[in-house]
Structure 1
Amino acid sequence: MTPEERRHNDITPQDLQAALISELAAETNDKKEFIGAHIPHLDLDYIDIETDNQYPIDFRHTTIEDGISAAHARFEERVDLRNSTVGGFHSPNCAFEDGLLASKTVFTDVVTLSDTDFNGDMIDFANATFEQSLTCEEITASVDVSFKNAEFNGCVSFDGALLTEQASTIDDNIIFDDAIFHDTASFKHTSFYYTSFQDVRFHDTASFKHATANGTIRLHGSRFHADVDFDELHCQEDISFSNVIFDGKASFRGVSISGGADVLADDLSLTNARFNDEATFERGTFGFTNAEGAEFNTCVNFRRSTFTDDVAFCDVTFANTADFDEVIFDGDVAFTDSTFNGDAVFRGAEFNGGTNYLESDAVFTDVIFNDVANFSDTNIVSIEFSKTEFQSTVDFTNAEITDTVIIQTPTFTDDSYLDFTDATIEEGTITQPKRGWGYFDFTRATIGDVSLTAADPADRRELLDYFRFCDTTFDAFDFSQHLEYLDRNDWILHRFVQPETEFSPALEFTPARIEKTYLKAKSSASAQSNLKAAGEFRVKRQQYAKRKFAQIATDSAEPIRTRIKNGLRTIENSFLELSCGYGLRLYRITAVFILFPLVAAILFAFGGPLFETGAGQTSLSQLVTDTGGGGTRILLLNIYFSYITFLTIGYGGIGPLGLGARFLAATLVYLNVILAGLFIYSLIKRSEI
């Protein structure tokens, strides 16, 4: 009957209620069909419907104006509300033991299903419309659940819901595909199994905080128009955000995504996802991660997260700061064809690699760094920058590369400055490009078997000018690759062409620091039996030691004793440099050994009574005008006397007469011992080189 017919026949709503309940409870009823009925209100609180015939309770195409109330009720048979219009649905602590069908149903008032148990076949709200709020808090569903194409105009809450596995499930058993949430959606502490939110629209805030998933979650093609919160989400299988658009802030703090056993599938997929506001993945734990084609149009934060498997950030755009501070990469990581338009922060990160997915544990191929790239304090096994464009500073201070660093065919613009201060590099290759230079700072760094080269062979003539060595430790560094450069540039290792942009090295060049640099270079060259380089670096070390001593000696702030001691060291160092080039200049000590007595002979011959010897004295005018050769004879006798005295032969035919001559003769004997020793020392060193 229509409502008008009931009123005409004096049938009250109470009569209708009593008749309907009687029909539901009747054991002999073959069918419980109320298709197309118009019911003012359905009060089923605390009812227990259990009959032997197990026929579904069929309310299809019905209109229940004031809704259904079924608090603490129990339905052994399936309840079917498909294609109906229901004012509201209030059924907390209810039990649907054979499912609930409500596809294409319109709920015009509040729907409350909290603490309800669903069993049997499925819960079907596909294409349903909820005009007011929907509350499904702490429901338990061990059946398939479908809200496909559902439209939620009020706030929705599934907080604490337990959506568990069904044994017959082949694919997703919880489906929200193509649903529309116009108001807030909350899934806090919800437990999902295989769940699909594909092509869903969230027009207001959504929260999945502290949710868990024992099966795969798919959100392909969905869009979050407002903020979304996935904090502390724990997913035992895979989760996919491919082609998802986040217009509001997206928070994934403390997320744990373990991934499934299928190694071919991504544990976390962000492929072609677009983040139009801040995205935070701080302190998360992720398995195999694929972010190919993703766009982060503002800041993204992965700080202190852990990637337990391989990571692929290919063709990714980072429009603002990308923060990977203290991230642990336990698999290989690839940033290929990606662009960092803001700061790229990898400070304190660990690139452990080890899966052999890539040749290097961290690969940056065809990557563009438009702003600062920060790799300070990182711990890296091996890292490769191939065809990478650096447009600003690259910070590797305190980084430790335990295996290999490769920088090949890079592009440097705007005087790119790569700071390796206090870094350690075991081995690798750094190649300067054909056009432009990168400025590398190895202040206090430790570099091992690292090959420094240039793409253009002609650039090798000035190659080392763009590498700053100050207090650098050379551990197995091969200087033999740079002998041509060093020999051409007088073995100057510390020369550095500073970039035109702002440059603030950790240590300024001082004589003491330069001396220490050459000492370390000399020790490394000696360890590799490169005696030529070791010898030349020894000379440079002594030259800057002399400058250091002189600097201390002229410093009025130093104690007088210290100044005197360093002044004497300066004199000693200068003598060794002039006489034999610190033992490395054989030609110099040879010249000194041969010519020094000649200097003394000139004093003997032309120095006046103070330097007079038994050979007599003459003058330059006499030497020129004396046609009899007397002046020449005197000069030659004095030369003879000087050399036999220097060589300690001393036949006795000629002796010193003046006080200066006697002192000079003694000095000749003394210097013979010193210079002879230096000559032999230089001869040995020369033969070694």
Structure 2
Amino acid sequence: MTTCEFSPQPENYRDTEEFRLLEIGSLECDRTTSADRDHCLIHSSDHNTNKQEILSEALSNGETLYGARADRLDLRQIGADQSTEPIDLRCAHIGTLDIRDTTVERPLLLDGATIDTILATETTFNARVSMASATIQQGVDFESAIFRESAYFADVVFFGEARFANMTARNEFVASHAQIDTNIDLNGASFEALAAFQHTTFGGWSDFTEVDFQKARFDEATFHDIAQFEESSFADAVFNRAEFGGAVFRDSSFTTGKFHEASFNGWSRFDNVSVEESMSFVSAEFSNTLVFEDSGINGGLIFTSARFDGDPSFRFDGAKLMGKTTLDGISFTQGTFTGAICNEIYYQKKSLPRSSELQNKHRLIDFTDANIKDGELTCQDQGEIYYDLTDATIGSVSFATENGKNPFKNLSVYRTEFDFFDFSRYRSYLSPNWNLHTISDQAPIEQKQNNSELETTYLKAKNGAEDAGDNRSASQFFLKELRYRRRDYLTRAKTASPQKSAVLWARAGFNFFYDITSGYGERPASVVISAGTTILLFSAAFFLMFTMVGRSPPYADQGPSQLSYLVFSMESFVQFVLPTDGHIESLYIRGFASLEGFIGAFFIGLFVFTLTRSVHR
């Protein structure tokens, strides 16, 4: 009889803290074997029909089986033992390890082991499980397993599929620095404590659908394929410096989530997610589109210094962003907030990207149908940002400008609602033309030209200014509203039927008359100028009429004839009935004078109205 020659070599062990603490010499086997064998039956690679029985007996006796070898090992009976001694199979080489449908009461140590397949479906582990630095050649199946104590899968290499569907981890679950070459299935799993996947590499599809995380740590994890976290819940999630081939967090819920310096190389789907406190993507990079459609963000959403390269770069269509959304210093091509409700949007330029290509790129944020209640948007000179506010609602938003730049040149205002927006802060930019809708020719969006819709645009601007108590701005927008109404009449008249066209031309004529005579009731000075012009025109008409009927000028013996016609026109302008003195006996002259009196009364009434309206504003 001789002693087993099994002696573990340092190269058999991974460079992990746990193995550095092992005393290699203590792992040598002191079992005896026959003279014709170098290794005992436990460490022999020879097939032996009694191997299961031999290993089971040794494990039942609490022996450590470092480096044991077996084609198949069934632990279902052994694991149920009430012994407190661990099932110690560290550095073992096992074909199939079967622990299905049982309750394992003893700690299970498989650190450094090489195993083809582990079958552990519906197994309950009441003690610690450790597989640090193990190698799985074909696959593991822990479906519906329950880990009541800590489970360590750190540094494990999975060459085959890893199934943990519907698994429950009641204590910490550590799989950091693991390498998963194919797919991993954690569908329906529950992590009631720490779930640590830091520095783990996921080579295939990663299915974390409907997983419940309390404390998820995926720092510097790498997902070469799609990371599927659909319908999962996260109380505290950290994905800092993680790298995603594609990320799907659709219908998931977060209390807090951090994705600082993370890289998203495929589509990033956060549709319909809910965030209770905050989610941050500080300095994250997105090589494709980020989608937050229909999401509900009650807390803050932070994208400080994030970079977007997709087209569009990000989509928040239909989202409800109830907290503060910070877009400070981000770089992007296009982003959309169609139909979103944004409580606070802050987009401020912290510093321009170094790339000249980004500096000169015209970028668009689409706020179509969005409701922005508060915030600050940047309108900068280089790498300009443009905002499409079509059908949006703008609240107490402010614009950060550079070098006296007109912020409205960066806005596409079209059917936009203004909810207590402070126009008074931007009067210097709006006057003298008060154009809201004219966006820069450099903008990556077409200029809106529909006159009827522009009339509606200025109607909404007027209403918003009135609600905010800014009567001066409301007055200017009222003028723009009615002038675009006139343009709409003229545009429609060109293609209408002759009868309809005549009506439209008449409406446009009356509209123009109201504009030049009184500024639509907004400008008393226009009434005065129009009245004076009317008096001059009538004085010239009176000159012609008096000459035609052969009458001498009124008040001819009291001054120049030209002045007499002007005085007579002024008298006619302010009274309906002329005195019956001898110099005005012509029926035609008296009728024409009465007409001027009627027009004069109209102008006097119009002046009182416009003056009162002007003082009120």
Q: Same fold (TM over 0.5)?
A: yes
Paired residues of 1:35 and 1:59 also in contact (CA < 8 A): no
1:90-136 per-position Cα deviation (integer Å, ceiling 9, x unaligned): xxxxxx5x6564222122x2223346524312211111111x22222
| Other-structure match for 1:120 | 83
Residue 594 of structure 1 and its aligned partner are, at CA, apart by 2.1
| Other-structure match for 1:605 | 543
Paired residues of 2:176 and 2:198 also in contact (CA < 8 A): yes
Distance in 1 (alpha carbons) for counterparts of 2:550 and 2:533? 19
| Other-structure match for 2:119 | 157
Distance in 2 (alpha carbons) for counterparts of 1:496 and 1:103? 75
Q: Where in structure 2 are the equivalents of 1:310-325 lying within 5 Å?
A: 310-325=256-271
Question: Which deviates more from structure 2 when the two are superposed, residues 248-257 or residues 470-479?
Answer: 248-257
Q: Secondary structure at the match of 1:532?
A: helix
Q: Secondary structure at the match of 1:238?
A: strand
Instruction: Give the counterpart letter for 2:58 in structure 1.
Output: D
Q: Where in structure 2 are the equivalents of 1:247-262 lying within 5 Å?
A: 247-257=203-213, 259=214
Q: Where in structure 2 are the equivalents of 1:112-261 lying within 5 Å?
A: 112-114=74-76, 117-121=80-84, 122-130=86-94, 132-152=95-115, 154-165=116-127, 173-193=128-148, 194-257=150-213, 259=214
Q: Secondary structure at the match of 2:225?
A: coil
Instruction: Give the counterpart letter for 1:438 in structure 2.
Output: I
1:423-452 per-position Cα deviation (integer Å, ceiling 9, x unaligned): 111111112235232111111111111112
**Which of 373, 382, 404 is the equivalent residue of 2:344?**
404
Residue 70 of structure 1 and its aligned partner are, at CA, apart by 6.4
Distance in 1 (alpha carbons) for counterparts of 2:67 and 2:51? 20
Cα distance change, pair 137–437 in 1 and its aligned pair in 2 (3 A): same
Residue 591 of structure 1 and its aligned partner are, at CA, apart by 1.5
Distance in 2 (alpha carbons) for counterparts of 1:554 and 1:630? 55
Distance in 1 (alpha carbons) for counterparts of 2:297 and 2:199? 28
Q: Secondary structure at the match of 1:464?
A: helix
Q: Where in structure 2 are the equivalents of 1:561-600 lying within 5 Å?
A: 563-600=501-538
**Which of 298, 304, 312 is the equivalent residue of 2:251?**
304
| Other-structure match for 1:90 | none
Cα distance change, pair 291–607 in 1 and its aligned pair in 2 (3 A): same
**Which of 350, 354, 363 is the equivalent residue of 1:416?**
363
Q: Secondary structure at the match of 2:160?
A: coil
Residue 463 of structure 1 and its aligned partner are, at CA, apart by 1.6
Distance in 2 (alpha carbons) for counterparts of 1:543 and 1:365? 43
Residue 198 of structure 1 and its aligned partner are, at CA, apart by 0.7
Distance in 1 (alpha carbons) for counterparts of 2:361 and 2:381? 15
Q: Where in structure 2 are the equivalents of 1:422-433 lying within 5 Å?
A: 422-433=369-380
Q: Secondary structure at the match of 2:231?
A: coil
Q: Secondary structure at the match of 1:209?
A: coil
Q: Where in structure 2 are the equivalents of 1:625-636 lying within 5 Å?
A: 633-636=560-563
1:622-651 per-position Cα deviation (integer Å, ceiling 9, x unaligned): xxxxxxx99994333322222211111733
1:665 aligns with 2:593: yes
Percent same amino acid among aligned pairs?
A: 22
Instruction: Give the counterpart letter for 1:463 in structure 2.
Output: P
Instruction: Give the counterpart letter for 2:177 in structure 1.
Output: G
**Which of 410, 428, 432 is the equivalent residue of 1:466?**
410
Cα distance change, pair 615–420 in 1 and its aligned pair in 2 (3 A): farther
Distance in 1 (alpha carbons) for counterparts of 2:89 and 2:272? 45
Unmatched 5+ stretches in structure 2: 3-28, 353-358
1:686 aligns with 2:611: no
Q: Secondary structure at the match of 1:398?
A: coil
Q: Secondary structure at the match of 1:275?
A: strand
Distance in 2 (alpha carbons) for counterparts of 1:282 and 1:547? 52
Paired residues of 1:392 and 1:413 also in contact (CA < 8 A): no
| Other-structure match for 1:66 | 48
Q: Secondary structure at the match of 2:431?
A: helix
| Other-structure match for 2:303 | 364
| Other-structure match for 1:448 | 395
Cα distance change, pair 233–499 in 1 and its aligned pair in 2 (3 A): farther
**Which of 315, 318, 328 is the equivalent residue of 1:374?**
315
Cα distance change, pair 421–79 in 1 and its aligned pair in 2 (3 A): same
Q: Secondary structure at the match of 1:458?
A: coil
| Other-structure match for 2:326 | 385
Q: Secondary structure at the match of 1:543?
A: helix
Residue 199 of structure 1 and its aligned partner are, at CA, apart by 0.8
| Other-structure match for 1:274 | 222
| Other-structure match for 1:615 | 552
Paired residues of 1:615 and 1:638 also in contact (CA < 8 A): no
Paired residues of 2:186 and 2:211 also in contact (CA < 8 A): yes
Residue 400 of structure 1 and its aligned partner are, at CA, apart by 0.5
Residue 686 of structure 1 and its aligned partner are, at CA, apart by 3.0
Instruction: Give the counterpart letter for 1:68 in structure 2.
Output: N
Q: Secondary structure at the match of 1:645?
A: helix
Residue 339 of structure 1 and its aligned partner are, at CA, apart by 0.6
Paired residues of 2:41 and 2:51 also in contact (CA < 8 A): no
**Which of 92, 103, 122 is the equivalent residue of 2:66?**
103
Paired residues of 2:43 and 2:69 also in contact (CA < 8 A): no
Residue 480 of structure 1 and its aligned partner are, at CA, apart by 0.7
Instruction: Give the counterpart letter for 2:518 in structure 1.
Output: C
Cα distance change, pair 658–415 in 1 and its aligned pair in 2 (3 A): farther
Instruction: Give the counterpart letter for 1:210 in structure 2.
Output: N
Residue 38 of structure 1 and its aligned partner are, at CA, apart by 5.2
Cα distance change, pair 79–101 in 1 and its aligned pair in 2 (3 A): farther
Paired residues of 2:181 and 2:204 also in contact (CA < 8 A): yes
Paired residues of 1:304 and 1:324 also in contact (CA < 8 A): yes
Cα distance change, pair 418–434 in 1 and its aligned pair in 2 (3 A): same
Paired residues of 1:35 and 1:62 also in contact (CA < 8 A): no
Distance in 2 (alpha carbons) for counterparts of 1:475 and 1:125? 70
Distance in 1 (alpha carbons) for counterparts of 2:63 and 2:277? 46
Paired residues of 2:269 and 2:291 also in contact (CA < 8 A): yes
Distance in 1 (alpha carbons) for counterparts of 2:428 and 2:608? 28
Q: Secondary structure at the match of 1:156?
A: strand
1:36 aligns with 2:32: yes
| Other-structure match for 1:43 | none
Residue 144 of structure 1 and its aligned partner are, at CA, apart by 1.0
Distance in 2 (alpha carbons) for counterparts of 1:39 and 1:275? 52
**Which of 578, 581, 585 is the equivalent residue of 1:650?**
578
Instruction: Give the counterpart letter for 2:285 in structure 1.
Output: T
Paired residues of 2:304 and 2:330 also in contact (CA < 8 A): no
Distance in 2 (alpha carbons) for counterparts of 1:318 and 1:224? 19
1:480-507 per-position Cα deviation (integer Å, ceiling 9, x unaligned): 111111123x112221225454x368xx
TM-score by length of 1: 0.77
1:256-295 per-position Cα deviation (integer Å, ceiling 9, x unaligned): 12x2xxxxxxx00000111122211111112200111111
Paired residues of 1:404 and 1:428 also in contact (CA < 8 A): yes
Question: Which deviates more from structure 2 when the two are superposed, residues 185-194 or residues 287-296?
Answer: 185-194
Instruction: Give the counterpart letter for 1:368 in structure 2.
Output: R
Residue 385 of structure 1 and its aligned partner are, at CA, apart by 2.9
Residue 344 of structure 1 and its aligned partner are, at CA, apart by 0.9
Instruction: Give the counterpart letter for 1:289 in structure 2.
Output: A
Residue 413 of structure 1 and its aligned partner are, at CA, apart by 5.2
Residue 656 of structure 1 and its aligned partner are, at CA, apart by 6.5
Paired residues of 1:328 and 1:351 also in contact (CA < 8 A): yes
**Which of 604, 609, 617 is the equivalent residue of 1:676?**
604
Q: Secondary structure at the match of 1:310?
A: strand
Q: Secondary structure at the match of 1:529?
A: coil
Residue 609 of structure 1 and its aligned partner are, at CA, apart by 6.3
Instruction: Give the counterpart letter for 2:552 in structure 1.
Output: A
1:132-174 per-position Cα deviation (integer Å, ceiling 9, x unaligned): 222222232112111011111x232222221124xxxxxxx11
Distance in 1 (alpha carbons) for counterparts of 2:91 and 2:179? 19
Paired residues of 2:305 and 2:331 also in contact (CA < 8 A): no
Paired residues of 2:52 and 2:74 also in contact (CA < 8 A): no
